[in-house]
Amino acid sequence: MSATTGAHGPELRVSGDGATSSARKKRALITGITGQDGAYLAEFLLSKGYEVYGLYRRLSSANFWRLRALGVFERVHLLPGDMTDIASISNAILNSQPDEIYNLAAQSFVGTSFEQPLITAQIDGVGVLMLLEAVKQLDRSIRVYHASTSEMYGATLAEGDAALNEESLFWPASPYAVSKLFSYHQLRVYREAYDMFLVNGILFNHESPLRGLDFVTRKISNAVARIKLGLDETIQLGNITAMRDWGYAPEYVEAMWLMLQQDQPDDFVIATGESHSVRDFLTAACGHLGLDWQEVLVESEKLMRPLDVPCLLGDTTKASTQLGWEPRVKFAELVKIMVETDLNRWNDYLNGVVVPWDAPNCVPSSQFQHKRAA
């Protein structure tokens, strides 16, 4: 246990098991707090008694719908900033005086990384290096979780191979994955060189009703709900044979927290150990609502990536053994949760209920305004 002097005077650090050692609540700083994982993590940490600060990027229109949907918007301290600006990163650390930092901010769309490779590298690569340097300069006792990704493995998994674990070869197949691999190794270097508590969470795909519409799982659940209600007729998808290990995001943020409660820093794979194709997800989603996936699917070459990863499957033996973490929500239940939530959202929307979700992103603004006024 160590003492630091910050903006609020002398402060005691807390023990590694998460128990508070003083009257001050344990503090966490979440970068990317407005995203799926950031919102769920904020909710989880608040339930653990944390004081939660969040770094968010100021946009022309507010993007707080996830925090509002979970009922935590008024309970977190929001700090404007940018991962490409070391001054705002340092200010966020100084203002929050965190015991733990969860770095979830990223340009996380694989497809977009091919179109915007430089900004992807700046945010997902150099931005993380700026964060590490800021922590090194300001307070090396801060524990840092970094959101790494299964995309770093690329096309290393062949049919019949064992699932991917912490020792598997990385062979990235996108600018996004390359940037993430850069930050993964920078974390390892800083951990070993400066004796800092830094961990990489190699998380495989994890989904929820708070997933953005640019991600294929949420695109599917949202589309089939609209098709069921007569708001759409088809859904356009690219490569439907790609296979991913899909888990449930609220469970994955618990794993993030567990990594920072260990005695020693280490890297962990978080996954379900099951792999399913995009076609499997579409089939299950349509089947849940009594739709025929072949009748609603329109395959589009425009949505194909220049280079794609055919299959990702994770091995969580290490996380199970050392963290005591196990996935509970599996594929079929995940699909059901997402489809039913989107169906309920659109039913509410058609009945004139104004709710804090991203409906404005998927309907014409004039139509949305009309429904709100109804």
Residue 28 has what pLDDT? 99
Residue 310 has what pLDDT? 76
Strand pairing class (235-237; 297-299): parallel
Distance (Å, whole) CA 234 – CA 259:
42
- Residue 101 β-bridge partners: 29, 144
- Is the pLDDT assigned to residue 59 strictly greater than 70? yes
User: Is 55 part of any domain?
Assistant: yes
Which H/E stretch holds residue 6? Answer: strand 3-6
Distance (Å, whole) CA 255 – CA 349:
34
Q: Based on the structure, what is the number of domains in the chain?
A: 1
User: Is 142 part of any domain?
Assistant: yes
Average pLDDT value for residue range 273-302: 94
Residue 362 has what pLDDT? 47
Q: Kindly report the number of other CB atoms within 10 A of residue 335's CB atom.
A: 26
Residue 20 has what pLDDT? 47
Per residue in 19-58, pLDDT tens? Answer: 444 578 999 999 999 999 999 999 999 999 999 999 998 8
49 contacts: CB under 8 Å, gap ≥ 6: 20, 25, 26
User: Is 299 part of any domain?
Assistant: no
234 contacts: CB under 8 Å, gap ≥ 6: 227, 296, 297, 298
Catalytic residue among 149, 272, 283, 341: 149
DSSP letter at 264 equals S
User: Is 109 part of any domain?
Assistant: yes
Average predicted confidence (pLDDT) for the chain? 88
Per residue in 204-225, pLDDT tens? Answer: 999 999 999 989 999 999 999 9
Whole-number percent of the chain with pLDDT over 90: 75
Q: What is the largest CA-CA distance in the chain?
A: 65
Predicted confidence band of residue 109 (pLDDT cuts 50, 70, 90): confident
50 is catalytic: no
Distance (Å, whole) CA 289 – CA 281:
13
Distance (Å, whole) CA 289 – CA 374:
27
3-state secondary structure of 153: helix
3-state secondary structure of 353: coil
Average pLDDT value for residue range 333-338: 98
Residue 159 has what pLDDT? 54
Catalytic residue among 53, 102, 176, 349: 176
User: Is 358 part of any domain?
Assistant: no
Per residue in 69-95, pLDDT tens? Answer: 999 999 999 999 999 999 999 999 999
- Is the pLDDT assigned to residue 129 strictly greater than 50? yes
Catalytic residue among 43, 100, 151, 251: 151
Residue range of the domain that includes 200: 3-208+247-270
53 is catalytic: no
User: Is 115 part of any domain?
Assistant: yes
CATH code (residue 77): 3.40.50.720
Whole-number percent of the chain with pLDDT over 70: 86
Residue 306 has what pLDDT? 66
User: Is 300 part of any domain?
Assistant: no
Average pLDDT value for residue range 245-272: 98
Distance (Å, whole) CA 122 – CA 257:
26
Handedness of CA 84, 89, 92, 97 (dihedral sign): positive
4 is catalytic: no
Given a contact cutoff of 8 angstroms between Cβ atoms, the answer to whether 42 and 72 are in contact is yes
For the ranges 24-28, 111-115, 123-127, 300-304, the lowest mean pLDDT is seen at 300-304
- Is the pLDDT assigned to residue 367 strictly greater than 90? no
User: Is 194 part of any domain?
Assistant: yes
Predicted confidence band of residue 366 (pLDDT cuts 50, 70, 90): very low
3-state secondary structure of 79: strand
